[in-house]
Chains A and B, each alone.
Chain A
């Protein structure tokens, strides 16, 4: 009953830690001679079907207010919390991905304050014995040298309701839809040293949350919010007093807030005559999204005393090793492993990897960590294209596949203002399309045309069938061999004769452009392209330009 209280010893208000810098100083030309120290507290909404302690469903943004509210959410007397174990599992997945230690026992505490967005007058959180401790997140992305951030802890807590105040009518409205939704608070150590690192950390964290399915990490919609602690100090001097900037909801704002805060804090320190005694006043600050500036919310003296108390209803959360091992064993692939695999196994370029990962960074995250059915993201789609055997019996070249995916498929989807999730072309269809082009059954141009058609007219038919229906099969520059099989390994023009259709198209073009033909005969090779162009146009892309050029040249020289 009382065991977990032993961990209550630490006074919650006394959090000043000894500073031992794990990062080597690196000069920043924006603020020469200064060091910036940043730590971030991230609140990520758990993507669970139900709230953390009640049976109510969680809500999507834009749902009518007060639709998903149970008696407990509205803090009716006599109601009691019941911990949603699915939410615990999702938070544990996150903790495992962040390489945290997971104690066998954690507990819940009440944080008290009076505000209209908090019906019970307290928020249930994990102050004294959090779910997970001592993690680590390595940020290894292009354009920034790799660095690691220590994760102090991951704790479960309730989200608040939403209250809005209309100054005109002087009325406050309260929407309890969000009240009691599960949050993970992920607290970093002060290991970040620049606004860019802070941005990269948050993006990486987002990718991890999405990969393990614990949160959609959507900052715009408020399912990921950051409180950023910033301090500055002159090189060689102890770290400065930190200011906390509350509730930042985009990476851009995080970076802008840090830059403004560095400037502001430097100005305070610069103006001081005595280096020993001067300090930045400890404050909690907000961020003005229009002026791109931070502003004071409250000073240290006004800091509320939250009167943390162990929650007498929830007691101790015990986690068995079996449960943790099971979660560890079923952890989905993490972003850095995906990156490594795409680079190593397929030899993809940094840029291509980035494109695929970016596509997946906005894919849907299902409730309660459930797997997405079917088309589950660009990387999985790519994996299947590469690993499933092609229609010609050979495996596909990853570089060809990635080009088709990034340039053509993603390009055309974006031209249609669609996301990858809207893609209706199955892996089999896409694979066949690539195979048809690779084996020159259709030309690259026809392939693109075919892709556009398939996106506009989703069909369960095989790609080859669709291509034939559209008469997109390539005009072979060769006669079919005597057996009737399509030649897939062209040798030289001298050995074979062009197909009658292409032959006809070329003759038509020469006849239609007599003066150009004459010019070519007279040695003006530049004009040749005009005749080739006409053939290409008439063939609707089914002809291969190089073959056409050779054929036209041959025809003109034969005529000579």
Chain B
């Protein structure tokens, strides 16, 4: 359904007694005005009005929330931006969508993304690329910029004010990178906290549902609704682990999270700055705002600790082997038999080999980036390559995880008791979310697209909570700088320390007021 037509219909048909929240109303108007250029939404739902105004307010009552198009919705298509699932309408809601509905959210529509979540520019989409909705006063308006990927539609929708919050997914940075490019908040929670049931798998061991919003408070509100154990997800972390982590975190936060008047105090908070996250490719337009952010945090009382995560340089290759291997496996189900695109063989074709039949549907259904990763992953899993690629990557993944465990104060309670603290450890890490601001869509994405992932992939491999927060404008722009596009700063914590990460994000959000 075309977005504009939907909007017209809503306006025409809306009876007077049906009340939409002001925000739902406002967002639908923005969608109608701007989506044609931004291309964030690929489907917009008809407004479901709040029928009972006397009903007790639910946590998300009247809040329009967008859903990335690789998360299943029973009343809307779920295309994963793929030709393969262009007509696919799942008969079920993902657990996260169900939870949002129960919490009173207005599921406003489905957002564009890279095909099956594979990409970092949101250009690999059957719906076309997403255009970054941010404005620049200085750069040329003629070269549209990328919203980032793979959750570009969700980030752009939040950035453009088309929704209050959006669900995204994050396999290796797909929430944090677009959040950084579009100047919004993006949270990739600890692996296993949010149910993946109904979320179309790209790489199960890395996939997380992410939350995006304009500010940390809105992000947290949605996260709190989704942060419940789901029996349908075999990788869901146990209620015991959740409780243990939460208890440990609250206790630790009491040491520093003391608001004194309007000015937060970070006395006692130890922030690690990982040296490997400042690569040569890091643009100066990123470096300066991040430095200022760190300086501001120090001025609030935080202790800044330089740390090293030596396995980081191997993380990227490990990530691509593992993610592609799992992707090649997960994509195997798209054969055009039970659902999805089915290409009929031409008359006279050899029907004896099933794989020949599948190849027709799969060749037509998958775009080039997905095909590339299927081939890479298939190779990594062949008997000859398995040891050198897949198993080697698994070992690197463990090393990356060990790196983090060595520098954090709190332990990962899914593996060791909460008492195993490191006195000299840090509470969180702070580093840039991206090596640059949003690239122009016209720029050829070569190997750069992969180098970018260096900053986001380690937290995915280790299953850690990671939040990208826009650096406040006041810290960002020197009058002389020509690039005033958003810059994101990442906050990463130990497994289960999501609330701590959000809390620090909130402090960063408010830093601007401090400086000026």
Contacts and interface: CB of A to CB of B under 8 A. Distances in A.
Interface string B189-231: 0000000111111011100000000000000000000000001
Top 6 closest pairs, chain A to chain B, by CB: A121-B332, A307-B381, A312-B205, A312-B204, A75-B333, A77-B200
A8 B391 contact: yes
B235 A77 contact: no
Contacts of B395: 2
A305 to B, nearest CB: 5
Contacts, number: 118
A2 B196 CA distance: 20
A267 to B, nearest CB: 30
B378 A307 contact: yes
Interface in B316-343: 325-326, 328-329, 331-333, 335, 337-339
A541 B328 CA distance: 79
B387 interface: yes
Nearest to A13: B383
Contact of A122 (B78, B200, B332, B354): B332
Contacts of B398: 1-2
B390 interface: yes
Contacts of A8: 386, 391
Given A5-B391, A5-B394, A313-B204, A82 B386 contact: no
B355 A2 contact: no
A260 B84 CA distance: 48
B197 A80 contact: yes
Contacts of A77: 72, 78, 80, 85, 88, 90, 200-201, 333
Contacts of B199: 78
Contact of A80 (B78, B233, B383): B233
Given A78-B198, A312-B205, 5 more contacts: A77-B200, A80-B233, A80-B235, A119-B335, A122-B332
Contacts of A121: 329, 331-333, 335
Interface residues of B, number: 53
Interface of B: 71-72, 78, 80, 85, 88, 90-92, 94, 196-201, 203-205, 231-235, 325-326, 328-329, 331-333, 335, 337-339, 351, 354-355, 358, 378, 381-383, 386-387, 390-391, 394-395, 397-398, 401, 463
17 contacts: A2-B395, A2-B398, A76-B90, A76-B338, A76-B339, A77-B72, A77-B333, A78-B199, A78-B201, A114-B358, A120-B333, A121-B331, A121-B332, A305-B383, A307-B328, A307-B329, A313-B204
Contact of A12 (B354, B383, B394, B463): B383
A170 B351 contact: yes
Contacts of B88: 77
A388 to B, nearest CB: 47
A484 B337 CA distance: 84
B206 to A, nearest CB: 8
Contacts of B381: 112, 307-309
Q: Which of A2, A12, A309, A315 has the most CB of B within 10 A?
A: A309
Contacts of B201: 77-78
Given A2-B397, A11-B387, A119-B337, A78 B197 contact: yes
Nearest to B93: A78
A115 interface: yes
B386 A11 contact: yes
A114 B362 CA distance: 12
Interface of A: 1-2, 5, 8-9, 11-13, 71, 74-83, 110, 112, 114-116, 119-122, 170, 174, 305, 307-309, 312-315
Contact of B92 (A71, A83, A307, A314): A71
B509 to A, nearest CB: 33
Q: DSSP majority for the A interface?
A: loop
Contacts of A307: 328-329, 378, 381-383, 386
A12 B384 CA distance: 10
B343 to A, nearest CB: 15
A110 B234 contact: no
B235 A75 contact: no
A409 to B, nearest CB: 50
A309 B390 contact: yes
Contacts of B204: 80, 312-313
Given A2-B394, A78-B72, A307-B381, A114 B354 contact: yes
A178 to B, nearest CB: 15
Contacts of B90: 76-78
A77 B196 CA distance: 11
Given A80-B196, A81-B234, A112-B329, A305 B337 contact: no
B231 A82 contact: yes
A114 B355 contact: yes
A112 B378 CA distance: 10
B235 A313 contact: yes
A115 B354 contact: yes
Q: Which of B198, B234, B335 has the most CB of A within 10 A?
A: B234
A477 B303 CA distance: 113
Contact of B386 (A71, A116, A120, A308): A308
Contacts of B91: 71
Contact of A83 (B85, B197, B234, B337): B234
A518 B398 CA distance: 108
Contacts of A174: 337
A174 B339 CA distance: 13
A79 B339 contact: no
Contacts of B197: 78-80
A114 B333 CA distance: 9
Contacts of B80: 77
Contacts of A312: 203-205, 235, 326
A80 B94 contact: no
B234 A315 contact: yes
A76 B203 CA distance: 16
B387 A314 contact: no
A383 to B, nearest CB: 43
Contacts of B355: 114-115
A11 B232 CA distance: 33
A309 B200 contact: no
Given A76-B90, A76-B339, A174-B337, A120 B234 contact: no
A79 B463 CA distance: 21
B234 A314 contact: yes
Contact of B329 (A2, A13, A74, A110): A110
B168 to A, nearest CB: 15
B234 A78 contact: no
Contacts of A78: 71-72, 78, 90, 92, 94, 196-201
A120 B205 contact: no
Contacts of A308: 381, 386
A5 B394 CA distance: 8
Q: Which of B80, B204, B333 has the most CB of A within 10 A?
A: B333
Contacts of A2: 394-395, 397-398
B345 to A, nearest CB: 10
A315 B234 CA distance: 8
Nearest to A83: B234
Contacts of A81: 234
A116 B337 contact: yes
Contacts of A11: 383, 386-387
Contacts of B391: 5, 8-9
Contacts of A122: 329, 332
Nearest to B412: A1
Given A78-B94, A80-B197, A307-B381, A315 B235 contact: yes
Contacts of A9: 387, 391
A142 B335 CA distance: 52
A416 to B, nearest CB: 48
Contacts of A74: 338-339
A315 B233 CA distance: 12
A239 B85 CA distance: 52
A294 B204 CA distance: 42
A78 B80 CA distance: 11
B197 to A, nearest CB: 6
A112 B386 CA distance: 14
